[in-house]
Structure 1
């Protein structure tokens, strides 16, 4: 006898397969394991993955299809996702998850007016980023009226190896840690200018330690370059990175070093005094 779907209608073959798989899953996987799977699925959404099917969610989060289906439908019920019968898409309620960190992070709160002042002075977008599992994550952002990049948004994640903020954040690691990190991530050539040879990537990270800043010149996106400086805590460790993003057609690298670097360093110094 066919099994009915969640809406009471006869389930499709795919639904029956999912139900059979779900019935075979050990009960020990329930509980906090379910929360971990749900969070893995939430993290799978990104600027390049704005909607997912059950199968895609299972693959990206590395969970079974029944587990992915349960998590996705729960997120729909809670108002975090919409579902059109095939694709699951984030809803505005999803912003509450990142907002919980941003509203309680003293660093992000302290930084925001400083980022806004730097944005007004430079007339360019200025950001604050922290390191998270090989990615530079933007936790503070003051947008200029002209937006250069779609990637550098509040909550956005950029690969650390080729972003200015990422290189700054990686520069505090030991030589062994840097080598292990570079060996563990895919060094994709995102544009013709992306530095992705392991020895060259490591050299750019080491250069931050002597220069005190990092530049990513059209490595993430053609027509966009960025500069970042470290924000250090009282122990001398790098807590975050402050960066500015500009159009490569309007602002040269020399101009960034001459006019933008002192402003970023001033913001970083004020943040360091507040930590």
Structure 2
């Protein structure tokens, strides 16, 4: 296995000024490992829209120099997390271990799974649980409806918070300053002609979610797809997660979501809240 060493300055393990900040520009403790931070930034850059990367792609997405990105990618290949065909780097199954460490120890996902499955069986649509992570909704539990064409994202998938039902619900419990911080973390753009992609329109949509106790994203992520989400609060009343259902908008109208699906999602959220 190839060993990749990060340069140090002075005492062994001491970070240079450039290394004392992670790729996002945040200060990091002196004891932090710059190489690890860079590698994790590249791992996090993989997603549905970036299933494979070149060195240039990784450098751009993780905000690294090309040599640093290349060292990190080759190290991940050596460790069995990535495959390399000479140009592109792609994730291998071992990458699943990183996410499963959280999913297998989170009591929230363990409690939620049977409830999501029950709701899926009642609604005949896919039902999910998501949490907020730096401007994105991350799906940590899911009960998938069996269909020829699946709806929504898979377990571990991420959606921009500004235009997703789960994201707006998760943001609705925060202060305006905190909301703006999350919105700034993800550049807003029109994914469809229906996408709300300006700060003022998104803030109004989040305020409406807070007022109504639920949010609907109607063909904002993809034409023909809609979703509804409700909050799950912890014992202190803060929003900890969001339960959502994703549907084909041609089969399930917004009116049906509000009249028939909303009570089921609220019941799931209430049972989760009692268990937290």
Query: Do both share a fold (TM > 0.5)?
Result: yes
Given that 1:126 and 1:141 are in contact with CA atoms closer than 8 Å, whether structure 2 keeps it comes out as: yes
Structure 2 partner of 1:105: 106
Structure 1 partner of 2:25: none
Cα distance in structure 2, aligned partners of 1:178 and 1:40: 23
Q: CA deviation at 1:26?
A: 5.7
Given that 1:148 and 1:224 are in contact with CA atoms closer than 8 Å, whether structure 2 keeps it comes out as: no
Structure 2 partner of 1:214: 215
Q: Matched residue pairs, number?
A: 253
Structure 1 partner of 2:192: 191
Q: TM-score under structure 1 normalisation?
A: 0.87
Structure 1 unmatched ranges of 5 or more: 1-5, 7-21
Q: CA deviation at 1:79?
A: 1.0
Structure 2 partner of 1:166: 167
The answer as to 2:201 corresponding to 1:205 is no
User: 264-273 or 27-36: which moved more?
Assistant: 27-36
Q: CA deviation at 1:153?
A: 1.1
Residues 217 and 103 from structure 1, CA distance in 2 versus in 1: closer, same or farther, beyond 3 angstroms? same
Given that 1:228 and 1:243 are in contact with CA atoms closer than 8 Å, whether structure 2 keeps it comes out as: yes
Structure 1 partner of 2:22: none
Structure 2 partner of 1:254: 255
Cα distance in structure 2, aligned partners of 1:180 and 1:145: 37
Given that 1:148 and 1:246 are in contact with CA atoms closer than 8 Å, whether structure 2 keeps it comes out as: no
Cα distance in structure 1, aligned partners of 2:127 and 2:81: 29
Q: CA deviation at 1:175?
A: 2.5
Q: CA deviation at 1:178?
A: 2.5
The answer as to 2:50 corresponding to 1:44 is no
Aligned CA RMSD, in angstroms, stands at 1.8
Given that 1:229 and 1:243 are in contact with CA atoms closer than 8 Å, whether structure 2 keeps it comes out as: yes
Show CA shifts across 1:184-220 (max 9, x none).
Answer: 5422000011011321111110011111100000000
Structure 2 partner of 1:96: 97
Given that 2:135 and 2:183 are in contact with CA atoms closer than 8 Å, whether structure 1 keeps it comes out as: no
Given that 1:136 and 1:159 are in contact with CA atoms closer than 8 Å, whether structure 2 keeps it comes out as: yes
Q: CA deviation at 1:183?
A: 4.8
Cα distance in structure 2, aligned partners of 1:178 and 1:69: 35
| Aligned pairs (5 A) from 1:22-101 | 27=9, 28=15, 32-101=33-102
Given that 1:110 and 1:271 are in contact with CA atoms closer than 8 Å, whether structure 2 keeps it comes out as: yes
Cα distance in structure 1, aligned partners of 2:184 and 2:83: 38
SS at match of 1:246: strand
Larger proportion of helix = 1
